[in-house]
Structure 1
Amino acid sequence: KLLCECPPRGIREELSNHSPRSLAVGHCHPDIVKAAHEQNQLLNTNSRYLHDNLVDYAERLSKTLPEKLCIFYFLNSGSEANDLALRLARQYTKHEDVIVLDHAYHGHLTSLIDISPYKFRNLEGQKEWVHVAPVPDTYRGLYREDHEDSVTAYANEVKNIIEQAHKRGRKIAAFFAESLPSVGGQIIPPAGYFQKVAEHVHKAGGVFIADEIQVGFGRVGKHFWAFQLQGEDFVPDIVTMGKPIGNGHPLACVATTKEIAEAFAATGVEYFNTFGGNPVSCAIGLAVLDVIEKEHLQAHATEVGNFLMKLLKEQKIKHPIIGDVRGSGLFIGVDLIKDQAERTPATAEAEHLITRLKEEYILLSTDGPGRNVLKFKPPMCFNKEDAKFVVDTIDKLLTDIEKECLSQEKTSTCST
């Protein structure tokens, strides 16, 4: 039996291979199962044949997004969505180069490994057309919480990259980033950063792509989309969505503007995805939106997320190994450190902690360059009782770890 990355404790049966963040509204939600079953009994075709579900789903999605994002392409996975976003950007701009954030991960296709520093640094290295900008991390990044204007400072890093690229005759097609860098360490970019970056990128003739695959669909609580945390005046040119929109069913989407879509269509080479937007997938997508609305899961994510953050910050006071607690809604990171001054990643300690948590039927994992950030991205049905159970267990295990360090008289190598 598994308690997988903190889903509700009532769900102790064997879970599927989907990560919990993909199970946006919970494992085997009856409404989702019913929608799939009923549509399967009626009709399922490839997307060469139009069906009302596709149009209905596009209309429902459009109501959650800014008005200019009104063209939708349906696909099967987040990787497919990000690959298509890259194609759209290049066709529209007639440029090739892409700016990404350090330690980013955007998918497993070859095209996406090329723009994922998390992957390519362990493989064939960085391509000439890829440019890596610093993660806008105000806790352990280049410009921290005490910087007078970290927003401008981080955005200027992107501006400098563009200027250097232009000197080499390169042209920017896109700035490609998760709205909240996840693999990069559960980072919350300072508000206003995307606006300034978009200004530099647009001036260079590029577009802004917001990867919402892990962080969209109400997870951040305050807003339906994580990019909206930056402010009402910020709208990406392209938004990508993945697994959570189908609650783990293969469903993904790219939303963009008419101008970008028309430039893509002008090639005369049609875009066709055999199963993207099929009737069953769209029925499931509609059911997910229904559940989020009916069960008030966005407001729930805010309430439970605030409660979880409060509990974790209380642990930060109690356990010096916790250097930072950051997040929004049910997207939260706990940064474990060896010392308060240097903020050295407590990599071994983090690994030890998640191993001990597994023995308690709680599956957490780590992210960030130092593999020291505990990531909390449970299904949005995760509740306060679950939150307290998880944090109480973490408290107990950290206390045990501290006692073990003291008893072994190895405090110099322990986080405390």
Structure 2
Amino acid sequence: MKFKESISKHRIINNKIGFYIVTIICTIIVSLGVSTKCNAAVSDLAYIRSNTTSWANEYNQYFIKDNYGESGCYPPDYEKRYSYGDWEMKAENSHGETLWLNGIRLYYENESRKAAVVLPINSNSEETRYCDIYIDGKLEDSIILYKRQWDILCKLPIEIFSKAKDYKIEVVTLDKDNKELRTSLIVKVYRPFVLEKNLIKKIENTSDNSGLKVEWRDLGTVKSYYVYRAKEKDGFYKLMGMTYSPYLIDDDVEQGQKYYYHIIANFTNEETFQSYDVEGSLNNVKKPKSNKLNRPKIKIKKKSKKWQIYWGIISDKSSGIEVYMRNGHGKYKKFRKINTTKKLKKSKNKKGTVGITSSRKTLIKGVKYQFKARTFYYKTNGRKVYSKWSNIVKIKG
């Protein structure tokens, strides 16, 4: 029994020793500089140690394995679909520490490979720990580097290069004096990575609801966009227009008719890209009721002993009416005998005032009188809104 207990104790001790040894080995490996990503912006990082005997094969194999060709060769699309502009390959300090950008490789999808963007970086610094990658001034990713001579391949997301334009790529690190080592290159992309055929973003009414606005994704610097339209999905597509902007206004549309739009982008390298056909139609938009007041119409009704300024039914949102009078050549003034009327007749079935009645005795014999009127209502902020002046009516005393 004691012998068995002794064996068990030795096994436990050996297991603990083994665990500690594995832990120490892992710690040493990490301290030697196993690289890790700081965020998920860079889709894949391939780290190649330059001081291993198999480095050249590993580095070259990375390009060959997915049909990207030899590492030292330019991609087949170089100069045709993209090229380098002004660039600085190497940054070096007084200590002889260097940071290199070995160009950039843009691979477009074909039958044998998927699209990819590979950025090779090289440095001989033993003090360098971190490296930041900037694209057009925006931090794309930060990576931890080997603490010795190293080469690294960064596989960037192709979505970054979705426009035909110039991109500035910068790689920045700190040297042993904690000063920046910075190198950069300018990539001129003539044929962007267009990831899907759903190029058209939306088709909607114009602001005045008289036409359709067709908008699509901005592909950057293009020679032109051609916009085609058909009235049936499999019908004849007619050229509607050519534009340099990622939208077009189609004002030749009818309510209730469906339209199908097709976009062709023409790039500066003479390549083209065609979108899927997208359906659109003019939405039926109810016009909001106007707050504008109608111009009132007035007339004078005469009787033997009375006379009346008559305006009848006022069905708009007017809440009152003001009547002005001029006798002879004086200025217009509010009607002197009657206050402003606010109880207007709004419809046949509702009660309300349709005019102002007065005695014939109120008129001075031989004097010519002129009248005009305007309606009004109050906004929620208390502001008074008037209609246009009515026609002018006349009566002689």
TM-score by length of structure 1 reads 0.20
Hey, which of these two has a bigger chunk of strand by percent? 2
TM-score by length of structure 2 reads 0.21
Q: Which gives a bigger RCO, structure 1 or 2 (Cα 8 Å, sep 6+)?
A: 1
Bigger CA radius of gyration: 2
